[in-house]
Every structure is written in structure tokens, then in C-alpha cells.
Amino acid sequence: MVITAQLPASSVFLVSGGARGVTAQCVIKIAQSTPCRWILLGRSPIATSEPDWAVGCTEESQLKQRIMQDLQARGEKPTPLVVNRMYQSLMSGREINTTLATLQSLGSEAVYVSADVTDREAIATGIAPAIAQFGPITGIIHGAGNLADKLIERKTEQDFERVYGPKIKGLENLLTLVPPSQLQYLVLFSSVAGFYGNAGQADYTLSNEILNKASWLIKQQHPSCHVVAINWGPWDSGMVTPQLKEAFKTRKIDILPVDKATDMLVNELHPRTHDTVQVVVGGPIHPPLANTSGELKTHRLRRHLSLESNPFLLDHVIEGKPVLPFTCSISWLANAGEQLYPGYKTFICEDVKVLKGIVFDESLVSEYVLDLQEIAKNEDKIVLEGKVWSLGPNGKPRYHFSNQFTMMREIPVAPKLESFNLEPDGVITLVGEDFYRVQPHPLFHGPGFYGLQRILNIDRQQVTAEYFARNMGPNKQGQFPYWTIDPYISDIQTHSVWIWLRHFYSSVCLPAKIVRFENFVTAPYDKPFYTTTKLVSKTETRLEIDITVHAEDGTIYSRVTRAEATIFPLSSKAA
């Protein structure tokens, strides 16, 4: 439903990039709601009249033919570049005049000022007569912008300035000439690229995110002004060709219909949204799918680890030393794979091994190496083998973790666990943080890894537990951020195993291997979830279990088939 913007009829708007394209469509939609006064700013020059040979001609090929004939009649060479430039200039002028005529038909007063938004003096000179005619400017819509899409290693300084200048220098110029204290409205046309990022648009992403942050700062300093940065997705306009539409469809990027998008802008100018400073209109930008053709490839990535860069390690201390959780090794490889192969997500990890854990003490080395080897690949899935290693004191490789994992374009729908029991048996009465605090043998994990809530039922063959975990946030996650596989909640899901070993065998364990791990979807934070853990086999020193993480209705979030661990007497390892 469209809600009128309820702008004062006396409003005077300065609109950069406002006489053409989607910005002009937005201005026209606002004018349908309220006939304001408009100062439309753009780079394109506008002629008072068209040449006689152009009047009444609208078909592109015919118009270009007439341009060539005119150039030849004047003794000039009609090169394709010159012809196209003249054609674009002519069409720009027509579009500008159409916008002005449309606004006037809607009862608005409008003028066009030809000036580059990056040229402050040209803007000041151009808008002075309009201000004298209309009165002080009370609103700004900053819609000017350029693209220069290239991968960052190919971008030039000129590319950057072409994109950055109109967005940021342009805004600076507008707000220098029209102070924010004078404004009732400030609308900044940003992009979903500024919110989500997009390959090939580092400069465009940066510029739009600066607009987003500027909107918050200006709103803080001028709370009475209606400030909003609109992070637009791609519009269904002339710039989006059928080929581009197909590419967007492949990447699952939503295209905004012009009428719907302009309605959204009008809605955002309503008084009820006065305190909404940033709006995202459109879905995330999914990167193009990785190319899976060609021979099998290898990758080598290097990483420097430090305790200071990973605050979560202070909550994972064994015998007084911070230790990298086994689950972080899984997400380390999975994240690397997903960055190298956009559009694919890790679903299965197999033959996952702890070879030599990483302890953050004097044994920590300056560099760790991750090697990835393609095992198989096609459009649907990619199988990789990964190893993390470092150089030992003798100069030879020392392997820490290994894993073979499968990434897929579409992860299968989560199945349901056929049989499980959530009825409490009252055997273990500890609740929540008591598992981590009550002596003599609490779990060793700090607050960032709290999550075990109740042992619902337990016997020598099976333990069922309820969990409720809090997201520790990106700042604490450091160099191991959560993507498809969350290493923190995955660690938490094993805590009932420690309780089971203590209760029946006065033992603890450390992980050694996972035969198979399937991750359908990450278990939720701030909501109960459950684990059903079943014993496969046990000796004095070795444990094999199956772990299924599921919802109350049995929907499976993830499952581990044959996790192997090394058992220690309770007295020999910190618990």
C-alpha cells in the first residue's frame, strides 16, 4: 500500500542526478503525491531546441543515420564513437525535457541545472537563480553516481575517482552549499552493494557504505531532519538488459520493479518513518558461481595466528593454556573453501582428524599453512581435501588437522530423527551454568561456550541433552568467524559427552577423529535445541559415538557419524 509522503507544498528539493533515470522516476512519484519545487542537477547539457533533422525522429537506427548525414554535410567524419556520443546527448536532452514537462503537468515547478556534482563552484553558480526563484532549499535527494566495475587488481586511480567522486565529494559539496541545519529532508541513494558488498565493486561498495554511515552521523547531529539512506537493489530499468536480468536470476538477485521501488521511496518520506535512518530495498547480492571447469586445482593459504586476535580462546583453556577448538579447524577449512568457490556451501566433512592441536603458548609458530586439493568437482558440488600444517623446530612439516569436505550449491532439506526421547529422568540435576561452575569437576569452558542446559536422560548407551546458546558476536570470534559451519555452537553440542563420561567412568576425553559430519543448518542461538548422543563403542582409552543435533520436533540440524575421542582418567586432564 502506498502512503503519501505528506511533504509541505512549499518544499524546495535539490536533486543530484535527478533529471534522468531512476532518480527522475522517484522525483515524479513524489510529485504525484505533493507538487513541490524541484532543482534538478545533472552533468548532461540541455539544448533549447533540437536540430530540424532530429525533430519527430524516435527510432534509434534512423536517428543515428540522420546524425551521420549531418556530420557528413558539415564535412566531418561520422565515426561510431562520435555518432553514439551525439545520439546519447540528444536522448539525454529529450529525457530531461520529458521529466521537466511531467513535473509541470503534475503541478510542480522545476528547473534543470547542468553542473557536475563534484564541481562546487559550478553547482553554486547554477542553483543561485533557482534559489532566488523558489526560495531556500529544504530537501536534498542525492542520487548521482557512476560505475566502473572491475576486479580490484585491475582498477585504476581514475576508476576509483569516477565512482567515489560523485557519491562522496558530491555529498560534501551539496551539504557545504546547503547546510544540514537548513534541511527538512535528506535522502541518500545508496546500494545493497554498500550493505552486502559485491565482487568487482570495491569502490562502489565503499562509497555507498560511506553514505550509509554519513546518514547516521547527520541524523545524530540534526535529529529534526528526516534523514534516510536507501540501499537500493538493481532496478528494472534501461540499465538492466535482458542478459543482465538472466545473470541476476542465476545469482538469485532480486530486481526491483520501477513502480514498486518508487512507491517505497514515497513511503520512506512519510512522518511515521522519521527515525528510520537506513533502509535496504532488495535482497543480498550473491556472488557469481565459481567456475568448476578445467583440471583439478590446488590452493595454498597462509595465516598468522595470535591470542590477541582471537578473544574466544580465553574461554577455551585446558590446563592453563588456550587451545584452538577442534571445531575451529573444521570451520577454518570450510570458510576457506567457500571464499574460493562462491555460491557453494559446506555440507559434508569426512575423515576429519586432529593430528596435533594448536596451543597458544610458546609452541605457537609465526605462520600456519592451509593446503586445499580439489578431489572432484562439477556444477552441483566440489570435493576438497584440506590440511593445516606448520614448520616444526626441525624445519619439517608438522600437520595439525586434515579433512575432506564436500561443498554443494544446494544443501539437501533437513530430514527428521525417527526416534528420540526428551523426557527427563532426573538422574543428573545440574542446570545451566552449574555444569561449568559447580565443583569439583565443572566443564572447563568459559562463558562464550556456555550452552548446556539440562541432561534430560542418560544411561550407559545414550545421553539426551537440552541446550540454549548465546551468540558471542563477531568481535570475539576473531580470525574464526561463523559462516556456514559455526565452530562455537558445534563445540557446545559435545558438552553432554563430557558429562556422560564423568558420570559413568570418571573420565574425560579429547577429540581425535570424525568419520562423517553432515551440516544441514546451524542450530539456533537464543532458542532451545537438543542432542541425542549414542555410544558406538568404548575401551579404556578410546570412545566412539554418534551425535545428532535436532529440534524439539526431531528436525535434524547436523549429525556426526562415529566421532572418535581419546579417553583420559579425570585426574590426568583439566576438566
Determine the pLDDT at residue 324. Answer: 98
Q: What is the mean pLDDT of residues 504-523?
A: 96
What would the pLDDT profile of 322-336 be if each residue is shown by its tens digit? 999 999 999 999 999
pLDDT for res 574: 42
Give every CB contact of residue 211 below 8 A, 6+ residues apart in sequence.
Answer: 142, 167, 168, 171, 188, 189, 190, 194, 229
The C-alpha R_g of the chain, in whole angstroms, comes to 31
Class (C level, CATH) for 434-513+520-572: alpha beta
Segment 89-100 mean pLDDT: 92
Q: Alpha-carbon distance 460 to 538, whole Å? A: 10
Question: Residue 537 pLDDT > 90, yes or no?
Answer: yes
286 or 155: which leads in pLDDT = 155
Degrees, nearest 5: CA angle 317-321-323: 60
* pLDDT at residue number 326: 96
So what's the pLDDT on residue 46?
A: 84
Q: Which three cell numbers stand for residue 296?
A: 583439478
* pLDDT interval class at 528 (50, 70, 90): very high
Please write the tens of the pLDDT for every residue from 130-146: 999 999 999 999 999 98
Mean pLDDT value of segment 215-228: 97
CB atoms within 10 A of CB 196: 17
CATH code that applies to domain 298-408 = 3.10.129.10
DSSP-based three-state secondary structure for 30:
helix
Tell me the C-alpha distance between 526 and 177, whole Å: 49
pLDDT for 575: 34
pTM of the full structure: 0.68
Higher pLDDT, 296 or 236: 296
CA–CA separation, 180 and 218 (whole Å): 8
Enter the C-alpha cell of residue 391.
Answer: 614448520
Buried b (16+ CB within 10 A) or exposed e, 126-135: bbeebbeebe
pLDDT score for 4:
63
Give me the residue spans of the domains in the chain: 12-49+82-281, 298-408, 434-513+520-572
Q: Indicate the CATH number for domain 12-49+82-281.
A: 3.40.50.720
Q: What are phi and psi of 320, to 5 degrees?
A: 80, 5
3-state secondary structure of 467: strand
The per-residue pLDDT for 573 is 46
Domains 12-49+82-281 and 298-408 share a fold: no
What is d(CA 16, CA 174) in angstroms, rounded to the nearest whole number?
9
Answer whether residue 241 shows pLDDT above 70: no
Q: What is the structure's pLDDT at 5?
A: 67
Task: Encode pLDDT of 447-461 as tens digits.
Answer: 999 999 999 999 999
